[in-house]
A and B are shown apart, each in its own frame.
Chain A
Amino acid sequence: MNSYEALVHSGFDGKPDVRDPKTLAWLIRRNGLEMTHISRGSHIGSVLSVAEIIAVLYTSVLNVDPKNPKKPDRDRLILSKGHAGSAVYAALAETGFFPVEQLKTHYANGSILSGHVSHKGVPGVEVSTGALGHGLGIGVGMALGAKMDGATWRTYVVLGDGECDEGSVWESALQAAQYRLGRLIAVVDYNHMQSLTTVENTLRLEPFEQKWKDFGWNAESVDGHDTDALKAAFERAQANAGTGKPSVILAHTIKGKGVSFMENNILWHYRTPQGEEYDAALKELEAQRP
């Protein structure tokens, strides 16, 4: 069978165990590489950095059901850094929201899987993003709505670090604290790089954790590639609901994680993996197969 699914699942003994965060993170990277390769698309560096964050959310944190993606009490996830959309598409497809085979249409003419994450026709995606600085505000509204309804579901928002240049992020941060949205949990994919150069050389965010605390949030920093540490951080954030403070997890990550020549290399924000570079990246990922 020459299908896309057979290609990305080759080497697994039967179907991969997508309930395991490390396996799902690997599949996000594997699909991310394949999708950006087929589509000649961008943002592989961000997909590789956010892989464990998305994997832990879908395996260990979110109350969502691929058979009933609109169930009213589901947790809401907003990928505010919409350019890492292929990571979410991969997680949704691998966990059964839609066929893995559909991932090969990413970026393609007539496809619904746009480069920046889209909700139109894609089960499991709550919100379309792509313009930065929108997701946290939408999450504030959802969390506020849930609070007004006395509902217990949570809202999760995945932000980029470069995205935190946007003033709107900080408007929403103030609003979330003001409305005491204890069930709002943000996680920043803190890979320390943005489009042109490092965060440090663009608009410095440090002391970043303290900034969030000063804005009235619970904040903690973790290794964003350590699935156990991420899971524990999410559990602590969930337990914080009673404090009335929203929580943010600063997940320290490496842009391009898992492919040595992409790691911390700004080139791979936009560059598409082709030819020998694709082959080399694939070889490195295959060596990490769980």
Chain B
Amino acid sequence: MRDAFARVLEEEMEQNKRIVLITGDLGFGVLRAIHRRFPDRLINAGIAEQGMVSMAAGLAATGRTVLVYSIGNFPTLRPLEQIRNDCVYHGADVKIVCVGGGFVYGSLGMSHHATEDMAIMRAIPEMICYTPGDPAETEAVTRDMLWRKGTCYLRLGRGGEPAVHAGPVRGWAFPKAITLRGGKDIAILSAGGILTQAVDAADRLAAKGISAQVVSFPCLKPLDTETVLELLRSFRIIMTVEEHTVIGGFGGAICEIAAETGSGCRVKRIGLEDCFTTVVGDRQYLREIYGMDGEAIAAKAEALLNE
């Protein structure tokens, strides 16, 4: 995802000379091409995220689109107040880019597990939150973001993720959800890089004769409520999956709509329960340990359908 992001950004920086990228002393390999081509528009803020985000707001006030790039929780939790007050409140054209949403840096430990960012960023008024599910979705939302004014949050995985979409996502209309496959027994809704596991779960269910619809939400906020309402009307059970706490993030957003509309559809959230990660391991290992890999999602779906 980060490579798709960097590729699109490089193209857009060529087109739009007012785009500036600030890095928090990270992204050596990813940003190398951009640094080579646009040395004057790549600024290293050092390991100083609060100053970095305030600076981004000030730069945006001089008529620029400013991207802030860092990993895990560093671009969100550390400078949270700077995002809220300096950027969003001022309508600053700042894009907060996180590489490593969820368990991407699984082996590095709890500090590097970004598992509350979606809930926290979503709670800030007027904040736009993108949660692409694979490189193709990343390309589509990055383009959208770079032409959309205002403060945005972009939650990426890392490099080398498998493509879920067979080809580019063409004509994506903000903030639409994308249905990857139709189904009739249960719907699995996904936000972010966990999309691969939603698809894997649907494959496993299909092998057992259970038809699962898979829908990706590359935009968490604003949420495509039209599609959500349609899903709530069409299904008896919906599952949400996110590599994130189940509190207040994607599943929470879907539950808010479900509860307020009194749809009668049951929503089961899959994600990290109210706990810190205390073991380390690679991304897939941690998904398994914390019950959000394809197998666990499929097992939960089957159990729900049999209740």
Q: Which residues of A contact B (CB under 8 A)?
A: 76, 119, 126-131, 133-146, 148-149, 155, 167-168, 171-172, 174-175, 178-179
Q: Which residue of A lies closest to B54 (CB)?
A: A137
Q: How far is the CA of A171 from the CA of B90 in the complex (A)?
A: 21
Number of A-B contacts (CB under 8 A): 98
Knowing A171-B48, A175-B48 touch, does A137 contact B53 (C-beta < 8 A)? Answer: yes
Choose from B50, B57, B81 the contact partner of A141 (Cβ within 8 Å).
B57
B56 within 8 A of A: yes
Minimum CB–CB distance from A149 to chain B (whole Å) comes to: 7
A134 surroundings in chain B (CB, below 8 A): 54, 81-82, 85-86
Minimum CB–CB distance from B42 to chain A (whole Å) comes to: 12
Knowing A119-B90, A175-B48 touch, does A138 contact B54 (C-beta < 8 A)? Answer: yes
Interface centre among A76, A134, A148 (most CB of B within 10 A): A134
Q: Which residue of B lies closest to A127 (CB)?
A: B90
Q: Which residues of B contact A (CB under 8 A)?
A: 20, 40, 43, 45-46, 48, 50-64, 66, 81-82, 85-86, 89-90
CB pair A145–B48 under 8 Å, yes or no, is: no
Knowing A127-B90, A131-B81 touch, does A168 contact B54 (C-beta < 8 A)? Answer: yes
Q: How far is the CA of A144 from the CA of B54 in the complex (A)?
A: 12
Choose from A131, A139, A143, A171 the contact partner of B85 (Cβ within 8 Å).
A131
| Contacts A128-B89, A134-B85 supplied; 17 other A-B pairs, CB < 8 Å | A127-B90, A128-B90, A131-B81, A137-B52, A138-B54, A140-B58, A141-B54, A141-B56, A141-B57, A141-B62, A142-B58, A144-B59, A145-B63, A148-B40, A168-B82, A171-B50, A172-B51
Q: How far is the CA of A261 from the CA of B57 in the complex (A)?
A: 40
CB pair A138–B89 under 8 Å, yes or no, is: no
B61 surroundings in chain A (CB, below 8 A): 76, 126-127, 138, 141-142, 145
CB pair B59–A171 under 8 Å, yes or no, is: no
Q: Which residue of B lies closest to A78 (CB)?
A: B58
B54 surroundings in chain A (CB, below 8 A): 134-138, 140-141, 168, 172
Q: Which residue of B lies closest to A179 (CB)?
A: B43
CB pair A144–B50 under 8 Å, yes or no, is: no
B90 surroundings in chain A (CB, below 8 A): 119, 127-128
Minimum CB–CB distance from A166 to chain B (whole Å) comes to: 8
Q: Which residue of A lies closest to B64 (CB)?
A: A145
CB pair A137–B55 under 8 Å, yes or no, is: yes
Q: Which residue of A lies closest to B59 (CB)?
A: A141
Q: How far is the CA of A178 from the CA of B86 in the complex (A)?
A: 22
Can you list 17 pairs linking A and B with CB atoms under 8 Å apart? Answer: A76-B61, A127-B90, A128-B90, A141-B56, A141-B57, A141-B66, A145-B61, A145-B64, A146-B62, A148-B40, A155-B58, A168-B50, A168-B82, A171-B50, A171-B52, A174-B48, A175-B48
Interface centre among A128, A142, A179 (most CB of B within 10 A): A142
